[in-house]
Amino acid sequence: MARDPFRLPPLDLLATFEAAARLLSFTAAGEERSITQSAVSRQIRALEDDLGVALFQRAHRSLHLTDAGRQLHRTCREVLDQLREAAGRLRSPAARSVVTLTTLPGLASLWLVPRLSRLMHLQPDIDVRIDVSFAARDLEADGIDLAVRYLKVDRAQGRQLFEELVVPVCSPKLLASTPQTAFAAPAQALGSAVLLSLIDGADRIALIDWEPWLRSMDIPDPQPRRVMSFSSYDDVVRAAILGQGIALGRRPIVDELLASGKLVPAFGGREADAVSSACAYFLIVNPRSRVPTATAAVAEWLSREAEETRAEDRSDGRNRPGTGVATGQRRQS
């Protein structure tokens, strides 16, 4: 019975042929394939016998592909590359997990991203995908594993990571260029200050984010020289660093900027100027995460980082204004 002309030759013969055709050397192909030169020669001869055509022209010190060899090499190279790529894709999910985390832009850029290298070191088999959004994502519908949300304490969800303290901050250059008497007292200072603020939900220019601090300072109707408003908190902070005005610093997410000296308390660092916000940051876990083990590991890491942040505040409280303020109250000096 005639042999089927469309049957496939053995895959190792084709892999050996592809290496020899690419390198034009049986010796180099043997080194790449971890077999001897004579084994390469035998496999090529077996492939030629199977196909019934010569694939190489063998000279004393050179090797060349025949027309049939060039045709087979083009096909082998394409098919083997596709097989290698498919094998890599199939192996990767078994080795790595992808955890999606959604949070606000300010927290992402100022607190989370600077710490991600620690997670990469501790969990090398977990990839993290950061979804930055002001919207409260539907974790199940959007396939998101974790959320860190900024919520009022009386509407808490999930596990609290840390509370929020607010204190006016500015660049040290702005503070140094301003007469000391201008910032001597917060109420008087506002008349000559440029305040950096967030646009509220109705896109109106308002000092919504400043209200807890202003209320605590007994300044019900502030009259700043000018207000510059932004749609995201990281832009507020960037403007403060550039010396464009005074921002309301949200601790602990601006703590590293305070520690590095890029920002300083606007009114001389008096602890009385720090106020506890009615909001805090909460970690919410999707109970139907598709990668529950990896999600739990990232959640635990976030909790440890938050605890470390709180511990740094406690140990360094005398150098950082406002540590330990009760909710909605001024810290007493």
User: Given phi > 0 = left and psi -120 to 50 = alpha, else beta, which region is 268?
Assistant: left
Best CA proximity match to 206, nearest among 183, 224, 186: 224
11-94 and 101-319, same CATH topology: no
Closest alpha carbon to 115 in 72, 148, 141, 71: 148
C-alpha separations of 180 from 208, 268, 329 in Å: 27, 9, 26
Q: Kindly state the tokens that stand for 331.
A: 């810290």
Q: How far apart are CA 85 and CA 92, in angstroms?
A: 11
pLDDT number for residue 134 = 82
Q: Is the peptide bond before 252 cis (omega within 30 degrees of 0)?
A: yes
- pLDDT given for residue 269 in this prediction: 54
Q: Report how far apart, in Å, the C-alpha atoms of 22 and of each of 32, 53, 257 are.
A: 11, 19, 56
pLDDT recorded at residue 324: 36
* Domain 11-94 falls under CATH 1.10.287.3510: no
Rounded CA separation 258/169 (Å): 9
Supply the DSSP string of 1-18, one letter for each residue: -PPPTTPPPPHHHHHHHH
Domain boundaries, the chain: 11-94, 101-319
Cα separation, 325 vs 329, in Å, equals 7
| DSSP code per residue over 279-325 | EEEEEEE-TT-SSHHHHHHHHHHHHHHHHHHHHHHHHTGGGSTTTTP
Tens digit of each residue's pLDDT, the chain (333 residues): 456 778 888 899 999 999 999 999 999 999 999 999 999 999 999 999 999 999 999 888 889 999 999 999 999 988 988 888 777 767 665 557 899 999 998 899 999 999 999 999 899 889 999 999 888 889 988 889 999 999 988 888 899 998 888 889 999 998 888 765 555 567 677 777 888 988 765 444 457 778 878 888 887 777 777 889 888 888 999 999 999 999 999 988 898 899 899 999 887 654 446 788 888 999 999 999 989 999 999 999 999 999 988 877 665 543 444 333 333 344 332
DSSP labels, 72-108: HHHHHHHHHHHHHHHHHHHHHHHH-EEEEEEE-HHHI
Q: Which own/partner contact pairs does 4-13 have at CB distance under 8 Å and 24+ positions apart? A: 9/47, 9/50, 9/51, 12/43, 13/43, 13/44, 13/46, 13/47, 13/50
The b/e string for 26-38 (b: 16+ C-beta within 10 A; e otherwise) is beebbebbebeee
Radius of gyration of the chain, Cα coordinates, nearest whole angstrom? 32
Query: Is 101-319 in CATH node 3.40.190.290?
Result: yes
Q: How far apart are CA 2 and CA 9, in angstroms?
A: 16
Give the largest Cα separation in the chain, rounded: 106
